[in-house]
Structure 1
């Protein structure tokens, strides 16, 4: 029994890094990445615009439709804006108050999939 448990644990330990190696959740545009059921969302926040790049395991996802909104929380203030599909990314127009610690909630439906919520904290 001990041998089986040790073998199973070793198999899990060895399989973990191999599985993780295929995943790429690093920011490609200088933003913050969150994994969702609809894909990986990378949020790049600027005072005039919030941009969300959508990818699938590090590869840009072809977007055909998108709906939703972003809400930017800064202290007790919040600002909500609709999201629009612009080329290969999602955009919401500001003005927004952007600083380290600002929180952003994106509620988005892409390519006809049910809406997902992604929560970001800016660095």
Structure 2
């Protein structure tokens, strides 16, 4: 076997092993949207972004249960083509929310920086 092929095979084996070992929790909960949005997981927390032209909502679930957002803060950046819009989301019951006029549609990218209980996290979304 040529050295290049041996290196490629070894890299594939190591990458597969790392991928299999990289997720220590059992995924007993589903990562499906409950509010019609797009879901991503960051640090064992599900972030569901619901983006409409007049309202943006961010729902957080910790292992399937709604997170306490009463003291949470969030900033969302929407990127749609060459347009960039920065939005501050405020606690609104069981979600973070902002109202206004937003350029959202399929392919829009969103980056949320959320702080819950003093711990910041960044979630990235692509709208469908």
Task: Give TM-score, length-normalised by structure 2.
Answer: 0.75
> Could you say what the CA RMSD is over the residues aligned between the two structures, in angstroms?
2.1
Aligned to 2:125: 120
Gaps of 5+ in 1: 1-11
Moved beyond 6 Å, runs of 4+ = none
Supply the distance in 1 between the matched residues of 2:68 and 2:90 (Cα, whole angstroms): 15
User: 1:120 Cα deviation (Å)?
Assistant: 0.3
Distance 2:112 2:100 in 1: 14
Matches within 5 A, 1:1-123: 19-20=26-27, 22-37=28-43, 39-113=45-119, 115-123=120-128
- Please identify, of 35-44 and 99-108, the stretch whose mean Cα deviation from structure 2 is larger: 35-44
**Aligned residues between the structures:** 107
Taking structure 1 as the reference length, the TM-score comes to: 0.78
Q: Gaps spanning 5+ residues in structure 2: where?
A: 1-19
CA contact (8 A) 2:75 2:112 kept: yes
Query: What CA distance in whole angstroms lies between the structure 1 residues aligned with 2:26 and 2:122?
Result: 25
